[in-house]
Amino acid sequence: MNKISILLFSLTHCCLAIRAGQAQDRRDFGIQAGTTYYYGEFNEVMPLYSPSFAMGVIFRYNINHNYSIRASAIYANVSGSSSSANIIPDPNISFSKNIIGAEAMGEFNFYSINPTSSRKANLSPYVNAGVGLAQMGTSLIFHIPFGVGLKFTPGQRHTFALEWRFHKTFTDKIDDYSSPNDGRKPFLHNNDWFSFIGLIYTYRIPNNSYICPAYR
């Protein structure tokens, strides 16, 4: 009888430990792909101006089903021409620059998202914001990324998201042109921006740190 009690206790402890391990599956890893474009003297308002392909990787640590922090890296390009801006005296200025960037951001889901749930699929809008660095040509640029998106998980550890992200820089040299009126512009329009629109796929990494003795 004592041996049976010990066995039942061990199995119960094992199952609880397994469930605790599953509850600690908090890490997501994945890819992002889409398009980048620029805002500046040559384009002040038009979304998807001169779009270029962008791709990168993303790591997310989920504090709970609503809050997470993430780090990402991206390779992209932005380009433009003064021929699209009537206010530029010289219509022959153009630029094209590659971007190698890294960001750290906080993220908030308006509704609970749990890709390990076996229940119905989860859908939630979300917002994020953080800080980033980007190498453009010979310049290292500090920027503030922030965005909005819609996240969907069908379960089985998979999550898909559609995201629109903006990057506020503190330089006016992405397009290699500085307007004489820059000093009189509002803060949000006084320097160049770049933006990303695309899809993000992540996979919830299993936590295999605990192995039940019954399965060894």
Domains and their CATH numbers in the chain: 2-215 (2.40.160.20)
CA-CA distance, 144 to 110, in Å (whole number)? 22
Is residue 151 packed enough to be buried (19+ CB in 10 Å), middle (13-18) or exposed (0-12)? buried
How is residue 158 written in tokens? 């998979």
Amino acid present at 36: T
- Given a contact cutoff of 8 angstroms between Cβ atoms, the answer to whether 37 and 78 are in contact is yes
Residue with the bigger pLDDT between 44 and 114: it is 114
pLDDT at 71: 98
Query: Residues 33-38: what's their mean pLDDT?
Result: 94
Q: How many CB atoms lie within 10 A of CB 171?
A: 15
Query: Residues 97-126: what's their mean pLDDT?
Result: 89
Query: Residues 87-105: what's their mean pLDDT?
Result: 81
**Alpha carbons within 13 A on the beta-carbon side of 99:** 34
* Confidence label for 138 from pLDDT (cuts 50, 70 and 90): confident
pLDDT at 163: 98
How is residue 94 written in tokens? 């153009």
Query: Residues 61-84: what's their mean pLDDT?
Result: 89
Query: Residues 131-141: what's their mean pLDDT?
Result: 91
Q: Is 97 helix (H, G, I), strand (E, B) or coil?
A: strand
